[in-house]
Structure 1
């Protein structure tokens, strides 16, 4: 499990509980739009402001119903294969990440075996999904595979289950259990990652560095850029924006290098 959290240490000694509560209220009022959850912990000589952590896990069973909330979804990192023999029939499940119908069809053409008895499949991309029984009795292959995908909580994924018939018929129930079972086991073994399409971030920066900052934000295609001059600090403004999840770290590094100063970043 990987946990990414953001925090800033404020060296502001407080002499009373009333001052502490007032300070907490001021920070919450100023930044609650960007940081909906945080807590203040009194320390000596200062205060630690701890912001909400963002958690990603390689375990598909953790929070499986969190797909597509807040622009985030869980998908698999790479192609995964699982094989099992059931009553002399060989079943091979192959799962891979897909982004749309076109990439799903491309994935199918890559992994399907024309020599196999059946190449059954299903995929899910957001609210779009399709499945195919490829000659098996209706509803005994494609739908169980799709059900396994739904149950896993994984999105942007396709599972192809290849069957080589071994001479023993499984029956309707046996086929449902076989196709759904190998698909579920394949996804259970797959390494996953949490993907956020756009991540909110912000930073406090001196006025004289705004030009440098905006150049970097434009270079990394940041969106929804806003400024807040009510920071309580002379010559300092708060800039918030949204940036692609996979560009966030590179943007932070570029800002630090170009500004040549210690910059406090806020993110969730």
Structure 2
């Protein structure tokens, strides 16, 4: 691993520690207790709507108060344990199908009049309610199958392709070879073009879009939101920015543009 890759890994580890310290989460008797945010009430309304439509792939809200929210736990692997489950095509396409299911089920939700969004709304075509952070760590996995999508902190209205592009960045993965091997734990660098196509096909009926442009727009949006929260003193974003996350995201954007012919 070269020095830049090692620095990124070390920074990611520090950011993860800051996240754990800033947002303690407990699971007890099948109930997840985690810090609430300003948007938690809106997210709970959305999750209740989804579950009322049938999908059980999102957490069931239980309660909200005293600065915490409680939700029913979805059993399976998530967080760092989720990376390995999406290495094969089964995991990859199951995540795309689950994301499509959630997007479709949420289309007829009417947000509260006083809705508080976890990220700024985005105008455009094919607007839906986006998760905002659909990386492998926020899916719940069982035997290489995506069965849940958790952590709806960044729920916001936006073109559904925004969520797809965000996911492609991490599921491709559309990142440096060193990161693919050392961070994502692939044994060899996969065929990114094939994985992008498999994800898009499994999601289904996407409007035409430029993959590199959409992915880099998603990274920029992440950086903008991170900086906004960091400047407000919120953790873990403040620690991420202090650790150089914005510069690393700029490098990710440059890599995607330089290597766009490898996957589009």
More helix by share: 2
Structure showing the higher strand proportion among its residues? 1
Give the TM-score taking structure 2 as reference length: 0.19
Which protein has the larger Cα radius of gyration, Structure 1 or Structure 2? 1
In the superposition, the TM-score normalised over structure 1's length comes to 0.19
